[in-house]
Amino acid sequence: MLLGGAVTLFGAIGLLRTIGDGLGSFIAYFVGGALLLDLVAVPLASGVGLLGRRRVPAAAWPAVRAGLVATATLTLFAAPLVADLGGRPDNPSLRPRHYGSGLLTALAVVWLGCLVAAAVAHRRYGTNSRNRPRSRKPTEA
């Protein structure tokens, strides 16, 4: 704990010595990122998860959830590329691909796999409560 605190302090001091005018912007991004994650992204994910568990057949849910995690990850990453934010038109070797169609291709591959897996699981286990993927509590969110 002490060592961790010392290392963090070392980092903070180094930052303050070199950041100059950028401190305000740094703080905004530093604090803002954590707030966005904890107060927006996580609850949103919980909401989607809740909805998914209720609407999707139980045996199919794990595969669908995997598809949703991959979708969120890929879309979050690719959004600035698809929206072409911050590109440099004088350098065509930067971002040389068509990212809109690339993202759609990637998502298509992901969902093809996940829906097949979901269908297989649903067929195999169906709504037979004995074979449903088990969890610790009888009631689950």
Partner 1 sequence: MTGDGSGGIAGRYRSPLHDTRAAAVLGLALGVAFTTCFVTGLLSHAIQHPPSWFSWPARPAGAYRVTQGLHVAAGLASIPLLGAKLWVVAPRFWARPAVPDLAKGVERAMLFPLVAGGTFLLVTGTLNTFQWYPWGFSFTDAHHWAAWITIGGLVAHVGAKATVTLTSLRSRDRAGVAGRRRFLGAVAFGSAALTVATVGQTVGPLRRLSVLAPRDPQVGPQGLPVNKTARGAGIRASDVDGSYRLRVSGRVAEELELTLADLEAMPQHSAELPIACVEGWSASARWTGVRLRDVLRQARAADGAGVEIGSIQRGGRYRASTVTAGPADDPDTLLALRLDGETLALDHGYPVRLIAPNRPGVLQTKWVKELIVR
C-beta of 25: minimal distance to partner 1 in Å?
A: 3
C-beta of 22: minimal distance to partner 1 in Å?
A: 3
C-beta of 110: minimal distance to partner 1 in Å?
A: 6
72 binds partner 1 (CB under 8 A): yes
Long-range contacts of residues 70-76, Cβ cutoff 8 Å, at least 24 apart: 70/110, 70/114, 71/107, 71/110, 71/111, 72/45, 74/103, 74/106, 74/107, 74/110, 75/103, 75/107
From candidates 56, 69, 115, 119, binder to partner 1 by CB under 8 A: 69
130 binds partner 1 (CB under 8 A): no
73 binds partner 1 (CB under 8 A): yes
3-state class (DSSP) for residue 131: coil
Q: Max alpha carbon distance in the chain (Å)?
A: 64
From candidates 41, 51, 116, 120, binder to partner 1 by CB under 8 A: 41
40 binds partner 1 (CB under 8 A): no
52 binds partner 1 (CB under 8 A): no
Long-range contacts of residues 47-52, Cβ cutoff 8 Å, at least 24 apart: 49/141, 50/141
Nearest CA among 70, 51, 52 for reference residue 60: 52
From candidates 52, 65, 111, 126, binder to partner 1 by CB under 8 A: 65
47 binds partner 1 (CB under 8 A): no
- What string marks each residue from 82 to 121 as x (binds partner 1 by CB under 8 A) or -? ---xxxx-xxxxxxxx-x--xx-xx---x-----------
Measure CA of the first residue to CA of the last residue in the chain; give whole Å: 35
